[in-house]
Structure formats: structure tokens, C-alpha cells
Amino acid sequence: MNDAKATRSSFYCVREQAFTSSFPPTDQALSEPDGLLAIGGKLNVKNLLEAYKLGIFPWYSEGSPLMWWSPKVRPVIRPSEIRISKSLKKTINKNPFDLSYDKCFKKIMQYCSTSGERAGKSWITSTMIEAYTDLHKLGHAHSVECWQNGELCGGLYGVSVGRVFYGESMFSKQPNASKVALVDLCAKLHAWGYLVIDCQIPSPHLSRLGAKLVEREQFEKIISQNVDKSTAPGAWNSH
């Protein structure tokens, strides 16, 4: 790829060796495809942490260039306002699952990459799994595991920066397993003072769980006010 000049109407398209400093301003993200901000660089801990602190996330498919995104509108869930349906509440009351945190982070990512419609065509590439596992080892990426009879049957993972949790993906092998994990996570995040869970891409599923859309500027304001706030440190399985 060739280096591209930065203009008010374009995004940076940079070669790997040139992608060593700050990301382009998010107001340079494209409107179509919505939020595409930059192409290139390395998927490593340094770039991931810098990106998340700016509300930017990577999303690409195996074999395609590394793409970084900052959509105009973001769905977010406030931990204290997660919406629990009657059927989900019945499941929670039956207590059919055991929950754990940070017990098998890499395995959760692998399950997320191969579950349901994502099997064989997931954006959770092997390179991404390794990079986020490195982030997990530093205490910035976390997983919630849902177990039934000793078998992993659901869960989710995401990135924690300040008092914002960036939800990345979830999976279920049993009905409502990932939702139960999310409800439990919301209770912990609320207790720890987290303000929002970023859900990145809108969907009817997220709306039913209580996600509300916020403009990019509003989301970045939330980040700037909370990125340096202290939260539960390190491995969450000790809390």
C-alpha cells in the first residue's frame, strides 16, 4: 500500500512501517463504509491500547488488510441499565450455570471465532487472538466464562480501559448462556464504577439488551472523562 496524504475528506492508508505514531483524527473516518479510519499497522499491544483510548477498534477478515474503525454512532450499555427479559430472568433464577472470570481467555476467543455463523469466516483471526491474549496478560483484556456440568457453554470477552469496557464478542452453546454472562458482568462493572460497555456495532439483539446509540463526539467525551480513572486491576478472577 502506498502512503496517502491526509485531507479533511480522506482516511490515512499507511504502510506498516509508517504506522508508528498517533491515529488520524476520528473526524476523518469515512461515512461509507461507516467509520473506516485507517488501514495498516501492526496488531500489537501498543497500537491496541492507543486505539481503545481513542475509541478506535480493529475489525477485518483473514487475508484482508488490518482496518481500524471509529463509527459515527455507537451502541453502549450502561451496566446499571441492562435490560433483562422475563425469559432471561427465569433462566437466571434457575441458576443453571457456573460463572468464572479470566479463567480461559484464549479459549473464549477461539470459541467466539468458530461459533454459529462465524465458523470459517470470522473476523477474530489467529493474529487477533494472539494480540488480545497479550493484552489479557497485561490485565487489559478480560473474559467471562459460563459453565454447565464442567463444560464451557458460553461466554464473552472484551477490553478494559479506564472505566470503559469494550465488548468484543460473545458465544453460546446453551440458550441464554452468553446473556447470563453479560448480566453478571454488568453487575460487577457497576460495582467497580464503570460507566459504559461499548458494543461497537448496532444490532437488534443489543437493543433488546438495553443498548442505546450515542454519537461519536459524545462517546469520545465519555472516554476522555474516564480513561484515566482507576478500576479493578489485573486478573478479574481474583475479585
Q: Are residues 99 and 51 in the same domain?
A: no
Q: Are residues 25 and 90 in the same domain?
A: no
Amino acid residing at 100: S
Question: Whole domain around residue 217: which residue ranges?
Answer: 75-238
Determine the pLDDT at residue 3.
33
What's the rounded Cα separation, in Å, for the pair 19 and 225?
Answer: 27
Q: Are residues 212 and 194 in the same domain?
A: yes
End residue of a domain, out of 48, 71, 94: 71
What's the rounded Cα separation, in Å, for the pair 45 and 39?
Answer: 17
Q: Are residues 108 and 189 in the same domain?
A: yes
Determine the pLDDT at residue 232.
62
Give a yes or no: residue 175 inside a domain: yes
Give a yes or no: residue 162 inside a domain: yes
What proportion of the chain, given as a percentage, has pLDDT over 70? 85
Determine the pLDDT at residue 61.
79
**Model pLDDT for residues 171-213, shown as the tens digit of each residue:** 999 999 999 999 999 999 999 999 999 999 999 989 999 999 9
Mean pLDDT, residues 88-102 taken together = 95
Going by their DSSP bridges, the two strands 12-13 and 98-101 should be labelled as unpaired
Determine the pLDDT at residue 8.
33
Are 219 and 78 spatial neighbours (Cβ–Cβ below 8 Å)?
no
- Sequence-ordered list of residues with C-beta below 8 angstroms from that of 198, at least 6 positions apart, any chain: 55, 74, 75, 76, 164, 165, 166, 167, 219
More confident site: 77 or 120:
77
Q: Are residues 122 and 228 in the same domain?
A: yes
Confidence of residue 120 (pLDDT cuts 50, 70, 90): low
Q: Are residues 151 and 107 in the same domain?
A: yes
Q: Are residues 116 and 183 in the same domain?
A: yes
Determine the pLDDT at residue 6.
37
Model pTM score: 0.87
Report the mean per-residue pLDDT for the chain: 86
pLDDT above 90 (res 233): no
**Model pLDDT for residues 135-184, shown as the tens digit of each residue:** 999 999 999 999 999 999 999 999 999 999 999 999 999 999 999 999 99
pLDDT above 70 (res 49): yes
Q: Report the candidate in 107, 127, 101 with the shortest Cα–Cα distance to residue 234.
A: 101
The CATH number covering residue 117 comes to 3.40.630.70
Give a yes or no: residue 1 inside a domain: no
Q: Are residues 40 and 157 in the same domain?
A: no
pLDDT above 80 (res 225): yes
